[in-house]
Structure 1
């Protein structure tokens, strides 16, 4: 498999980045809502952690579909830029956060030299994105000042969210999309087509 991106892959990656950037922006409101519900119970810090995996999902979806080096990082970065251009309250610093999340997601695929896209690697990608982003937030959001026990609990929730909402959900969405036939020209679509032909033989 060549490591060079084809034009159609760049286009798809860009489309995914923009679409999920819009979704990411909407989820800021969802996170705030959850935070408000949890605040009376003293659990406000977990408001965003519960759904944090959503903000990693495009890196996993794009990488799983296209399967080439740099796709996870770039798709996440495009989503971050989209959020900033649409006026996110997080400001331009969000681009740095997106880059770090993308690096975390990309790291899992790099470990396998971009040859393994099974569910466990997608989950690992979500986990690394969670760990990388959490480390960044310790300083960018001032979380380092929180109690160690609270930080450990927040990290655990973010890791679970990354594994499920980015890894598992990302694979499920991609597989559903591929089964419609619209991804025939991409790595995931070709894999599914080969499986269908094998089952039919």
Structure 2
């Protein structure tokens, strides 16, 4: 296994803190959507809460990046005052494991759009199973629960996977990631 460099740890941690703030900022949006559409409203944007795991893994490309970044983000979010409290850290761990599983399936060799979208889908799937048992989804009709799951998976693919890739690529274009795996890949492609 490749050793982590200090700058990779620092960047992953910084991304986690930034996205902890983003995650908190999206809670009111989720509440508004849930008020308008019911529980499925949160699922429309649930991918935002997985995005740091995809971005960190895509930039750093080391085992554990998705899991650790999501866990750190959840921990920081709790420290910043998320009302859910420490249970949110467990949610972050589960979401991070979901995203991490997609990269592990490829043995950490592929970081293309399909794998990033799969990571978002897997984070959605893992989080949904957790949510099913902790959020009372069993009281809903099975067709509604399936619609929630499908919506969350699409959100994970598009918001976490597609948007995460786009944001990372845009950041790489600035040159600030030139010494990271993503920056090196972009340089090689540009030189070819």
| TM-score tier (shorter) | over 0.9
The match for 1:97 among 83, 91, 114 is 91
Q: Which residue number in structure 1 is paired with residue 176 of structure 2?
A: 182
Match of 2:20 in 1: 21
Deviation at 1:143, TM superposition (A): 1.4
Matches of 1:144 and 1:89 in 2, distance apart?
A: 23
**TM-score normalised by the chain length of structure 1:** 0.94
- Aligned partner of 1:133 in structure 2 is 127
1:145 Cα deviation after fit: 2.1
In structure 2, distance between residues paired with 1:195 and 1:54: 29
> What is the correspondence of 1:43-122 to structure 2 with a 5 Å cutoff?
43-122=37-116
Q: RMSD of aligned C-alpha atoms?
A: 0.8
Q: How many residues align?
A: 192
**TM-score, with structure 2 as normaliser:** 0.98
Q: Which runs of 5+ in 2 are unaligned?
A: none
The CA distance in 1 between the partners of 2:29 and 2:39, in whole Å, is 14
Cα deviations by residue, 1:87-145 (Å, 9 ceiling, x for unpaired): 10111100000000000000000001000001000000000000000000011112122
Gaps of 5+ in 1: none
Displaced runs of 4+ in structure 1, greater than 3 A? none
Distance 2:189 2:122 in 1: 30
| Cross-structure match for 1:33 | 32
> Which residue matches 1:8?
7
The residue aligned with 1:166 is 160
For 1:107 and 1:83, the matched residues in 2 are separated by: 23
- SS at structure 2 position matched to 1:50: helix
SS at match of 1:190: helix
Rg: which structure is higher?
Answer: 1
Distance 2:90 2:82 in 1: 14
Deviation (angstroms), 1:194: 1.1
